[in-house]
Structure 1
Amino acid sequence: MSTDYQQAREALGLQLRELRLTCPEGRLTGAQLAERLGGGWTKSKVSKLENGRQTASAEELRAWADATGHPEAFAGLLAQLRGFESHIRSWRRQLSSGHRPVQEAITAEHDRTRVLTIWENVLVPGMLQTADYARHVLTRHANLMRSPRDTEDAVRARILRQQGLSEPGRRYRILMWEGALHALVCPPSILAAQLDRLTGLVGLDTLELGVVPFSASLKIFPGNGFWIYDERRVVVEDWHAELWLDDADSVATYLRVWNTLDESALYGVDAQNAINRVRRGLSVRA
């Protein structure tokens, strides 16, 4: 966890402690506040929030403000939370209502973007997935995160976003490491259909689809995936969270990474041939 993020979380905790200690009815102990807040709240949870060891949800901030007799403080607390959550968005919190809201939030970001630049090293990017492939990816992620199951709604939302590929004026610059073509995150027959879709997309006028093959000479290692939105924002995915980075230095760094990887990429017929080689090998294994 970044130092800036932790400092922001601790600053929010100090605000929460101040509200508890200045309750109009008299200062509350952590145990008294937990009892007042009711189900799911413990003295330990109060302590973790106040000491920046846990991040409160918007609903928890509202409950805290009301329980300490400071309902007017909620807006300020929420603004603090949104300020640092705009950079680090934990999967636990994002998936509390399932995958569909996450997909819709990404769609909103896509809708305001004219040029989307993607690097993916382990999966076929969502913008290019078949429904069956997406279904397996989302199901496995829900299992890992122990999040609510809304797989079919999430698949529909993801596939609907792909309409952007046919909209004039949009541009998609997508690079994939060859490993993403081999990953059996679904049955071989479904991966085969996914690879067939990729070969069919090569040459689409809104899409620049590149493949960095295993045999390529690399100037940088193929690190984790990221998405650059109009050179104004980068979203980087990790196991615990997504990082949403808006500062110019970070955007510039990820653009350099993408451009460096692009120097090793195959496009057009060469990319199709690379995908088809994987497809033929998959048929043997299937």
Structure 2
Amino acid sequence: MSSPSSRANEARHAVASRLRDMRLDAGITGRELAARCSWSESKSSRIEHAKTPPSDADIRAWCAACGVPDQAGDLIAANRQADAAYVEWKRLQRTGLKRLQESGVPLYEQTRQFHVYASNVVPGFFQTPGYATALLSSIAQFRGTPDDVSEAVTARMVRSHVIREGEHRFAVLVEESVLRYRIGDPEVMAAQLGYLLSVMALPAISLGIIPFTASRQAWPLETFTIFDRLRVHVDTLAASITETQPSEVALYLKAFGNMQKAAAYGGDARSLITKAIDELGD
């Protein structure tokens, strides 16, 4: 796994390469592009070689000069996230888990439409205190973070108020495997699965379960959350990745839509959850 600094460097070079390819596709030289943009030829060279990061205005001018102004949005988003897209969990969690839970509150509160796909654990805002305690304890132990699990669990429960308050809507997909993974003891799991049954009745929530046996167009992916169709957070073992490029967000929305077709809803989803509860004692 590459480091955040190397990933950021790769992202900057990717933007530079896309700008260079755009100029070549347009059939113009660096000198001609500079003239069209009213800046020096050396500036064009520095941008193309990732020595000088372009501003939003630079990217808009570059795209316009190459006759593809519609591509500016994606490139601007890619350029902005070059340093921020890949953030090590170690850095996010260096002061413990509580602050990380609290840091997400503004984004959760301002988001109106959530698309959530969970392939490994129950989504955070659906977690019970017992389940969250078991999960965050494992994370703290694995990462060697300061032990503030109880405070972090409280913060996570407070953050979860968005499922009951405000004008928020949640489209949630959970793999059936999530119902089976034992996070905590059977009693904790039974309470968690029972809580899933209760949140399904909330008017703001659409919860689908993707059965093991479902015929599917999209394979299981890393857990991700889409906020208002504008940004995606993807959780990996090593890092939290943020995508804001419209084309990348559209890709995750497409995957979500494909997986929705394989999901069970309503009574069928409840049957999958109750079956998992019944088999906890096996």
* TM-score, with structure 1 as normaliser: 0.71
Superposition map of 1:111-260 within 5 A: 111-260=109-258
SS at match of 1:86: coil
Say which of 92, 96, 99 aligns to 2:97: 99
Shift of 1:195: 0.4
- Alignment partners' CA distance in 1, 2:2 and 2:257: 26
Check the 8 A contact 2:119/2:174 in 1, yes or no: yes
Preserved contact between residue 118 and residue 173 of structure 1 (Cα < 8 Å)? yes
Most deviating of 94-103 and 2-11: 2-11
Alignment RMSD, CA only? 2.2
Unpaired runs of 5+ residues, structure 2, are 13-79
What do residues 139-176 of structure 1 show as CA deviations (whole Å, max 9, x unaligned)? 10111111111101110111111111112421011110
Q: Distance in 1 between matches of 2:124 and 2:174?
A: 12
Instruction: Tell me, yes or no, if the aligned pair for 1:175 and 1:212 is still in contact at 8 Å.
Output: yes
Report if aligned partners of 2:8, 2:86 keep a CA contact under 8 Å in 1.
no
Q: Tell me the CA shift for residue 83 of structure 1.
A: 5.7
Q: 1:269 to 1:98 in 2, by over 3 A?
A: same
> Larger relative CO (CA 8 A, sep 6+): 1 or 2?
2
The residue type paired with residue 222 of structure 1 is: P
Secondary structure at 1:97's aligned position in 2? Answer: coil
Question: Which residue matches 1:40?
Answer: none
Matched residues, percent identical?
Answer: 31
Could you tell me how far apart the structure 2 residues matched to 1:148 and 1:139 are? Answer: 11
User: Which residue in 2 is equivalent to 1:78?
Assistant: none
CA contact (8 A) 1:203 1:268 kept: no
Which residue in the other structure is 2:28 paired with? none
Amino acid across the alignment from 1:195: L
Q: Distance in 2 between matches of 1:153 and 1:8?
A: 32
The residue type equivalent to 2:222 in the other structure is N
Structure 1 SS opposite 2:222: coil
Displacement of 1:10: 8.8
Asked if 2 retains the 8 angstrom alpha-carbon contact of 1:209 and 1:267, the reply is yes
Provide the residue aligned with 1:6 in structure 2.
6
Check 1:261–1:11 CA distance in 2 against 1; reply closer, same or farther (3 A cut). Answer: closer
Q: Distance in 2 between matches of 1:225 and 1:10?
A: 24
CA distance in 2, matches of 1:149, 1:111: 27
Separation in 2 of the partners of 1:84 and 1:11? 5
Q: Partners of 1:153 and 1:4 in 2: how far apart?
A: 28
Q: How does 1:9-28 map to 2 (within 5 A)?
A: 9=9
- 2: CA distance between counterparts of 1:89 and 1:167? 30
The 2-side partners of 1:94 and 1:198 are apart by 28
In 2, are the aligned partners of 1:168 and 1:206 still within 8 Å (CA)? Answer: no
- TM-score normalized with structure 2 length: 0.72
For residue 118 of structure 1, give the secondary structure of its aligned residue in structure 2. strand
1:277 is aligned with what amino acid? K
Structure 1 distance, partners of 2:174, 2:11, is 40
Whether the 8 Å CA contact 2:4–2:88 is kept in 1: the answer is no
Aligned residue pairs total 215
Spell out the pairing of 1:42-57 with structure 2 (5 A cutoff).
Answer: none
